[in-house]
Structure 1
Amino acid sequence: NDPYRGGTHLPDVTCISPVFYAGKLIFLVANRAHHADIGGMTPGSMPLATEIYQEGLILPPVKLVRRGEIDDGLLSLILANVRTPEERLGDLMAQIAANEKGIQRLKEILEEYGAEKINFYAQALQDYTEKFLRQTISQIPDGEYSFTDYLDDDGLSFTPIPLKVVVTIHGDQAKIDFSSSSPQVAGNVNANLAVTISAVLYVFRSLVEEDIPFNTGLLRPLKIIAPQGTVLNADFPSATAGGNVETSQRIVDVLLGALAEAVPEKIPAASSGTMNNVAFGGYDPLLQKRYAYYETIGGGMGASFGREGLSGVHTHMTNSLNTPIEALENYLPLKINQYRLRPRSGGKGRWRGGQGIIREYEFLNPVQLTIISERRKFAPYGLRGGEPGRPGRNILIQKNRRRILGSKVNLKIQSGEKLRIETPGGGGYGHQQEK
C-alpha cells in the first residue's frame, strides 16, 4: 500500500501473485482493494495529516503468502494495527482468493493456447490500443492548450492550490505538462506520480471507443511531466490520503478543460469534481465493539454537447456506488434523515448539469469524523456559455444551530448531532438561450 512504491494511498492495499507455467514466471496477477481502516490517527485512515506516518500502517512489498502458506506473524502484525481486524481479515482473504482465481483462469488459457501465443496476443492488444489512441490524438488540431483550476485548500490552511496543465498536440502524440502546478503542500492532498499518470490515462482512455482495451499501449503516445516536489509528484514522506481521492479529480478537470479548447464538442463540462469522502468511527454499545466506516457520495455529472448531465452519480476517478440507507442503519448506530437529489444544483445551459445529492446523518453515539471533500469554494465549471454547478456544502447541525464546515475537517461529533453533506452539481453546457 506504500504510495511511494507504486501505491496510491495507504487504505488501498495491493496483492500481487506470480503465475508460473512450465517452470517459468509468465505473468503477475494483482488486485487492489480499499480497506475502510488501515490504522493511523483517525477512523477511516484519512486524517488531516502532515506526513504519511500519521495516516496508517505502511506496508512495503512483503510476502504475506509463502509457498501457499499464510505468514501468520505478518498477518497478526497487520491486524494489530487496525481498528476493525475482523473486517480487514475478511478483505485480505478475499484478495488472496481473487488472485488464486486469476491464476487458475490464466493457467487454463495457457494450457489451451500456450505461452507463446498468449504473449503474442497480449502484445497485439497493447499495439491495438496504442493505434487507436494515436488515431484519436491525430484528430485533435496541433497546438498548445492550457487550463488552470484549483483545489479549495489542504485542510491545514485556507490557501487555494492551483493545478495548471499545458497540453501540446503534435501529430499523433500529446505532451501533458503540469510544471506550473503548486509545490507540494503541508496537508494530505499531495498526489504521487502514479496517481497523476492514472488520471491522465483515464482522460485519454475516455476519448477513444468504449471497446478499446485499457492497457500500457495508452502510455506510448503520451509524455507526462509532473516535476518532483510538486503537489502532483510529492516527495516522501508527504501525506497522500487526499491526493488519491481528491487531487486526482482535479487533474481530470484541468486536463478536460484544456482539451475543451481544442475539441469542445467532445469534452463535457466539469462534473462534481470530488468524492465527498466521509469517514467516521467510534464504539457501538449495542454490539460492544469499535467500528470504522468510510464512504463516498456522488454528485452531478457535467453536461456535454447534446446531453444533459446525470444526477446523483459518481464520475471520473470514483469507483463505488452510494451505500443504501437500509444497510447503513442496520450496520451502524446512526440514522439517515435525508438522502435525495439536491434541487437546482446543476449548472444552467443549453444542456443542464446533473444535480448533486443531499445526505444527512444523525449519529446516535459519539463519533470521530473526518471529511475530505472539494468544490466547496471553486464551483464545477460550465463550458461554451454554460453556467457552473453549485458548490457543495458540509453542515453540522447541533440542536438549533447550524455550522458550515470547511471542505476538510476532523472533529468529534456528539450523540444526537447531525451532519448534512450537500454535494456539487455538474456544470452546464452551452448558452441557456440556445435551449
Structure 2
Amino acid sequence: MAKKPIDPVTLVVIQNGLQQVCNEMDLAFCRAAFSPVISEALDRSDGIYHGETGELIAQGELGLPVFVGTMQFSTQAVIERARKTPVLAPKPGDVYIVNDPYLGGTHLMDVRFVKPFFYKGRLFSWLSNTGHWPDIGGMVPGGFSANATEVEQEGLRLPPVKLYKEGKLDEEILSIILSNIRIADQRIGDIKAQAAALTIGEKRLTALLDRYGAEVVEQAIEELKQRASQQMRARIRTIPDGVYHGEAMVDSDGVVDEPLVIKMKVTKADEEMHFDMTGSSPPCRGPMNSVIATTYSSIYLAVKHIFPDVPINAGTFEPLKVLDPHDTFLYAKYPRSVSGCAAEVSQRIAEAVFNALVQAMPDRLFAAPAGTSGNLALGGYDPKRDRSYVMYVISGGGYGGWHGGDGISNGCSTIGISKTTPIEVMEQYYPVLFEEYSLHEGSGGAGEHRGGFGVNYTIRLRRGEARASMVMDHGRSGPRGVLGGEDGGLNTVRVETAKGSYVPPHLSKDQDIEIAVGDRLHVSTPGGGGYGNPAKRDPADLARDLERGYYTADQIKARFGQAVKSAAE
C-alpha cells in the first residue's frame, strides 16, 4: 500500500526542524570551543547524514560550504569501516574521530567527529561535525607546511577510530593524539566542545522524532531529497546546452616554482552538468594536491554559489556528474601531501567553474573572487605566560564584480563563511601586535563593475620567538576579470627583520621563517576581478572611488581609460 503523501506544511516544518538541529550544533560547538579559529573564525560545520547510505540530510547554515561534500564522504568512510570491522560496529554513545584526507577528508587540520544516532534502539542516522584544529603535529606549527612532499610530514593522520566508546572518552586514544600535536594541553577544550555539539544534536533530533514520528520524518527526508534534485535540475535547464571551457591557476605547489593549471570542461545537456578536469596538471610534489572528496565538494559549492536558493541535501548534487580526474593533482592518492587542498586548491576549482559558465550565463555569474583563505600560522613560546602557542590567521579579500555592481571588499573566502578572528582577540591570546589593518587600495580589478578590495595587515612580534608559515595563493596572477574586466590585485607577503626584508621565493607560500621580537609580517590579500569593459564605468562611480582613496588619479586614467577630477578640485 502506497504511503499517504506528506502534507506541505508538515514537510516544511520538518525541513526547518532538521535545519535547526544542525544550527544548534553549530552554535554549541563555536560557543564552547577553546580555539579562536573555531569560536571566532567559525571554521567548523555540523550535519545530519543518512543511517544506511551516509548521504547528506541537512547541514547547519553556519557551516563551511566546502564541508558539504567532504563530510558526506567521510561519514560514508566511517560507515564502510564500521561494517567491515566488528570492533568498530556502532553502539549508542560512540563517537568516531577521523581526519584521513584519503577517506573523504580535506587537510589533516580538519578533524571530524561522527556519532551514530539511535532512536528507540534503531540506528536512524549519523551526526557529524568538523572542526579546524590549530595544530595536528607535522613539520611546522599550524600544519600548513608549504614544502611537505608526503602526508606524514603534515601531521598526525587518523583513520576512523572510536574516541568515545558508549559515552566514555577513550583515554588511550586521546593520549596518542595529544602526544603527537603541539599545544596539546589546550586541545581538550575543543575535543569536548566538538563532542558536546553532537550531544546537543542527539537531543534535538530525538525531540523532533518524538513529535512527528520516525516514519513521517523519514518520509520527509526522502521527499526533501527528491525535491532538491528537481529544483537543481530545473535551474540547470535554464543554462543553454553546450560545452563550456574554463581555466584557473595555482601559483605553485610550494616545492617546484611552476604554476599548476586546472582545465575545466563543463558539458551542459538538458538537466545535467558534466565536469571534466582531466586536462589539468599532473600530481605535484608539494602540498597543493587535492583529494577527490575536496575536488567533488568544490564543484558542488561552485554550483551552489550560482544557484543559492536550492536547499542543501544529497539530492542537490545528483544532477552534477564529475569525471574522476585521475593522474592529475586534483585526485591525490597516498602519500601525496595535501595541506593546501581545501584552503586553496578548492577555490581554484570553483573559479574554473565560474570562468567556464560565465560565458553561458553572464547575468548570473561574476568575476573571480580573491580565492585564498590567506592561511598564516605563527607558532612559538610566550615567556610572559610561560606557554607555547599556535596562532592561525584567516584573512578576507575582494569579491569579483558582477553585472549589477561592484564586488564586496574584505569578503570571506569562496569556500566558506569563516571570518578573520578579531585582532583584539588575537592580541589578547598571543604575544603579537597588529600595527596595521587596512583596505588594500587599488587591488580591485578594473571593470565596468570593479572588483572589491583585499586587506593589508602587519603583525609585530612582542615577546619570545616564533616561526611563521603560510599557504596562500594568487601571488603570481590575480583573480581573473571577465567580459573585458581586469584581473584583481596580487597577494603579497613580506617579512621585515633586523637583517632586512624577505619575500618568499614562492611569493605566497613558505614555512619555518624565524621571527624575533620586533620583526614584522606584512600581508596584502588579493582584490576581486573586474566585470566588463573598464572604459564603460560610470564617471560618477570613478569620482567616488577617487574621493574615497580606492584608486589614485593615475590608476584611474591608466586602468579605466578616463581622467577624473577629485571632489576637492
| TM-score normalised by length of structure 1 | 0.98
The match for 1:287 is: 385
Q: CA deviation at 1:208?
A: 2.1
The match for 2:251 is: 152
1:130 and 2:235 are equivalent in the alignment: no
Counterpart amino acid of residue 519 in structure 2: E
Q: How far apart are the structure 2 equivalents of 1:374 and 1:203?
A: 18
* 3-state SS of paired residue (1:264): coil
Q: 1:20 to 1:246 in 2, by over 3 A?
A: same
* 3-state SS of paired residue (2:131): strand
Q: How far apart are the structure 2 equivalents of 1:272 and 1:29?
A: 33
Q: Is the 8 A contact 1:228 1:235 kept in 2?
A: no
Give the alignment partner of residue 429 of structure 1, picking from 526, 531, 556: 531
Q: How far apart are the structure 2 equivalents of 1:62 and 1:400?
A: 48
Counterpart amino acid of residue 203 in structure 1: A
1:168 and 2:267 are equivalent in the alignment: yes
The match for 1:107 is: 206
Q: Is the 8 A contact 1:184 1:190 kept in 2?
A: yes
1:255 and 2:353 are equivalent in the alignment: yes
Q: How far apart are the structure 2 equivalents of 1:93 and 1:31?
A: 13
Spell out, residue by residue over 1:240-266, the C-alpha distance to the aligned partner (whole angstroms, 9 max, x if none): 111111100100111100001111111
1:349 and 2:443 are equivalent in the alignment: no
The match for 2:522 is: 420
Q: How far apart are the structure 2 equivalents of 1:357 and 1:170?
A: 41
1:15 and 2:116 are equivalent in the alignment: no
* 3-state SS of paired residue (1:241): coil
Spell out, residue by residue over 1:307-331, the C-alpha distance to the aligned partner (whole angstroms, 9 max, x if none): 2101011131133111212111111
Q: How far apart are the structure 1 equivalents of 2:258 and 2:534?
A: 33
Q: CA deviation at 1:295?
A: 1.8
Q: CA deviation at 1:403?
A: 2.6
Q: How far apart are the structure 2 equivalents of 1:225 and 1:89?
A: 41
Spell out, residue by residue over 1:17-54, the C-alpha distance to the aligned partner (whole angstroms, 9 max, x if none): 11111221011001100000011111001112111111
1:182 and 2:284 are equivalent in the alignment: no
Q: Is the 8 A contact 1:374 1:407 kept in 2?
A: yes
Q: How far apart are the structure 2 equivalents of 1:401 and 1:72?
A: 48
Q: Which runs of 4+ in 1 moved over 4 A?
A: none
Q: How far apart are the structure 2 equivalents of 1:168 and 1:413?
A: 49
Counterpart amino acid of residue 302 in structure 1: G
1:76 and 2:178 are equivalent in the alignment: no
The match for 2:508 is: 407
Give the alignment partner of residue 37 of structure 1, picking from 135, 142, 166: 135
Q: Structure 1: 5+ residue runs without aligned partners?
A: none
Q: How far apart are the structure 1 equivalents of 2:217 and 2:180?
A: 41
The match for 1:116 is: 215
Q: Is the 8 A contact 2:278 2:326 kept in 1?
A: no
Q: How far apart are the structure 2 equivalents of 1:331 and 1:14?
A: 25
Q: How far apart are the structure 1 equivalents of 2:138 and 2:369?
A: 31
Spell out, residue by residue over 1:325-364, the C-alpha distance to the aligned partner (whole angstroms, 9 max, x if none): 2111111111111001111110111111101100111112
Q: Is the 8 A contact 1:132 1:208 kept in 2?
A: no
Give the alignment partner of residue 483 of structure 2, picking from 364, 384, 390: 384
Q: CA deviation at 1:213?
A: 1.7
Q: CA deviation at 1:296?
A: 1.1
1:274 and 2:372 are equivalent in the alignment: yes
Q: How far apart are the structure 1 equivalents of 2:341 and 2:423?
A: 28
The match for 1:231 is: 329
Counterpart amino acid of residue 373 in structure 1: M
Q: CA deviation at 1:125?
A: 1.2
Give the alignment partner of residue 309 of structure 1, picking from 407, 410, 420: 407
* 3-state SS of paired residue (2:287): coil
The match for 1:359 is: 457
1:325 and 2:427 are equivalent in the alignment: no
* 3-state SS of paired residue (1:64): strand
Instruction: Give aligned-pair identity as a percent.
Output: 38
| TM-score normalised by length of structure 2 | 0.75
Q: Which has the larger radius of gyration?
A: 2
Give the alignment partner of residue 158 of structure 2, picking from 48, 59, 68: 59
Q: Is the 8 A contact 1:280 1:367 kept in 2?
A: yes
Q: How far apart are the structure 2 equivalents of 1:4 and 1:403?
A: 35
Q: CA deviation at 1:115?
A: 1.2
Q: How far apart are the structure 1 equivalents of 2:274 and 2:486?
A: 30
Q: CA deviation at 1:112?
A: 1.0
Counterpart amino acid of residue 143 in structure 1: G
Q: Structure 2: 5+ residue runs without aligned partners?
A: 1-98, 538-569
Q: How far apart are the structure 1 equivalents of 2:418 and 2:457?
A: 16
Counterpart amino acid of residue 408 in structure 1: K
Counterpart amino acid of residue 38 in structure 1: I
1:3 and 2:79 are equivalent in the alignment: no
Q: Is the 8 A contact 2:135 2:141 kept in 1?
A: yes
Counterpart amino acid of residue 156 in structure 1: V
Q: How far apart are the structure 2 equivalents of 1:16 and 1:289?
A: 32
Q: How far apart are the structure 2 equivalents of 1:238 and 1:231?
A: 9
The match for 2:394 is: 296
